[in-house]
């Protein structure tokens, strides 16, 4: 059973899409193993996205991710990392396939409704970031 992290971003929380996103995750036969609802301080967003520090979009991303509540969750299932990435679609919603979360729900490249880990290594790091007591 593989674990990954998915975050429902501020734009999707504000538009009341939490339930629909969870419904799609569960319909794809993944299990929500843990879930939180919180607001990240900008310094926390900067730590989480440290891998992007120095890139042109870094400040905008950190400001956005700290602009409102988010819903991070641990998602479990067979090939969870790849499966959830397929379910959410490409980072740029204009390049995502119809039926994916980002194609259907994203507002823009930054406000693309969800974040998901892109590798098993990043999934382990990101899960620990939001759920430090998870085994």
pLDDT of 135 > 70? The answer is: no
H or E segment to which residue 26 belongs: helix 18-27
Of these residues, 37, 79, 97, 115, which one is catalytic? 115
pTM of the model: 0.95
CATH 3.30.70.141 fits 2-39+70-130, yes or no: yes
52 assigned to active site: no
What pLDDT shows up at residue 132? 95
Q: Region 17-25: what's the mean pLDDT? A: 98
At residue 95 the predicted structure's pLDDT band, cuts being 50, 70 and 90, is very high
Percent of the chain past pLDDT 70, that is, above it, reads: 99
Burial class (CB in 10 A: 0-12, 13-18, 19+), 65: buried
Residue 8 pairs with which residues in a beta bridge? 71, 114
Which residues neighbour 6 within 8 Å (Cβ) at sequence distance 6 or greater? Answer: 25, 72, 73, 75, 84, 88, 114, 115, 116, 117
Q: Region 115-123: what's the mean pLDDT? A: 97
Domain boundaries, the chain: 2-39+70-130
Instruction: Single out the residue of 30, 9, 13, 41 nearest to residue 84, CA to CA.
Output: 30
Q: In this predicted model, what pLDDT tens digit does every residue of 31-62 receive, in sequence order?
A: 999 999 999 999 999 999 999 999 999 999 99
Average model confidence (pLDDT) across the chain: 96
Residue 76 pairs with which residues in a beta bridge? 3, 31
At residue 134 the predicted structure's pLDDT band, cuts being 50, 70 and 90, is confident
């Amino acid at each position: 059973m593989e674990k990954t992290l998915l975050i429902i971003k501020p734009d999707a929380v504000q538009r009341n899409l939490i339930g629909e996103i969870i419904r799609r995750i569960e319909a794809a036969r993944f299990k929500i193993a843990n879930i939180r609802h919180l607001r990240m301080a900008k310094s926390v967003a900067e730590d989480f996205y440290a891998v992007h520090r120095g890139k042109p979009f870094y400040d905008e991303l950190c400001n956005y991710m700290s602009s409102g509540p988010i819903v991070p969750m641990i998602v479990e299932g067979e090939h969870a990392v790849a499966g959830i990435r397929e379910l959410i679609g490409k980072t740029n919603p204009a390049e995502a396939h119809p039926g994916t979360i980002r194609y259907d729900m994203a507002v823009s490249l930054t406000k693309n409704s969800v974040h998901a880990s892109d590798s098993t290594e990043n999934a382990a790091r990101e899960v620990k970031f939001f759920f430090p007591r998870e085994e």
